[in-house]
Structure formats: C-alpha cells, structure tokens
Amino acid sequence: PTVSLLFFFLFSPADFSDGVLITQWPKYISSPPETSVEMHCYQNDTDYDYKYWYRQIRGEGLVLIGSYNFNSPSSEKGFETGFTMSGTETKKWTLTVDVKEGIDAVYLCAASLHSE
Ligand SMILES: *[C@@H]1O[C@H](CO)[C@@H](O)[C@H](O)[C@H]1NC(C)=O
C-alpha cells in the first residue's frame, strides 16, 4: 500500500517583539492511508487566544486550514472533513489529520492576539 508522508516544520515567530515562543511537534511523521495522525503546537503566552493551522503543498502557497479559539474550532472551506482541530488547554492545540493520498504537505501553526 502507498504511504503518505506528512512533514512538519517548526514555526518560529522570530519577528514577534513580545517574544511568544511556539513549539510544534513532531517535526515529521509518516503514516499509511486510512490512519490518522496528530500534530501539536504549544505557546508559552496565554494571551494568544487565537490559534491557526496552515498547510503548504509543494509548489503551492500557504493555505489556512482553520482557526481555533476559546474551544471553538472553525474550518475553512475544503477542510470541513478529515481535519479536526482541538485543544485541551489554552496553551496547547492539536490538529488531527486523516491520512490519504495527496495529503503530503508542510503543516504549520500560528497564534495571535486577535482574529486576524
Ligand atoms: C516565552 O518564551 C520566550 C523565549 O524564551 C520568552 O522571551 C518569553 O518571555 C516567554 N513568555 C512568557 C509569557 O513566558
């Protein structure tokens, strides 16, 4: 059977002057189709209530998968199924992806103070 590869990179908000630190793991993962994988992000500043997941397929631009704030996930068009956003605490958020062919991508998270 084919194996899909998902690559995760650290999103390092080096430009942020107030120094919120975001950690993303795992760095990469591979899993066969018909399974699901989880990726996580952690930020050390509780003020950053708005969380985001993006992905970038090779040769394409960055696309917003959805946002998550105050325990309420909001999926973008085209990501309503197969992508589940969750969070058990204010500082950590999780994206669960159903693995299928063509889903290989770089997945990135971000956090912000406002819904921009
Ligand atoms: C988060 O971590 C960064 C880098 O270590 C640090 O500069 C910042 O003060 C931390 N923020 C909080 C709220 O602890």
The pick from 20, 22, 49 for probing ligand 1's pocket by mutation, whose C-beta has the most ligand atoms within 8 angstroms, reads: 20
Among 44, 48, 90, 91, name the best residue to mutate to test ligand 1's pocket (greatest count of ligand atoms within 8 A of Cβ): 44
Ligand 1 lining (C-beta closer than 6 Å): 19-21, 44-45
Tokens read off for 6: 């998902």
pLDDT tens digits for range 93-106: 999 999 998 889 99
* Mean pLDDT computed over every residue of the chain: 84
Minimum CA distance residue for ligand 1 atom 14: 44
CATH code for the structural domain at 4-112: 2.60.40.10
pLDDT in tens, 58-83: 889 999 999 988 778 999 999 999 99
Measured in angstroms, how far is the CA atom of residue 77 from the centroid of ligand 1?
Answer: 34
Burial profile 29-56: b = 16 or more Cβ within 10 angstroms, e = fewer: beeeeeeebebbbbbebeebeebbbbbe
Half-sphere exposure of 16 (CA within 13 A, CB side): 15
Residue 38 has pLDDT above 90, yes or no: yes
Say if CB 31 and CB 38 are below 8 A apart.
no
* Cα(70)–Cα(38) distance, integer angstroms: 20
Q: Which residues pair with 4 in a beta bridge?
A: 31
What DSSP designation does 53 have?
E
Rounded to whole angstroms, the Cα distance separating 58 from 63 reads 12
The pTM (predicted TM-score) of the whole model is 0.82
- CA of residue 45 to ligand 1 center, whole Å: 7
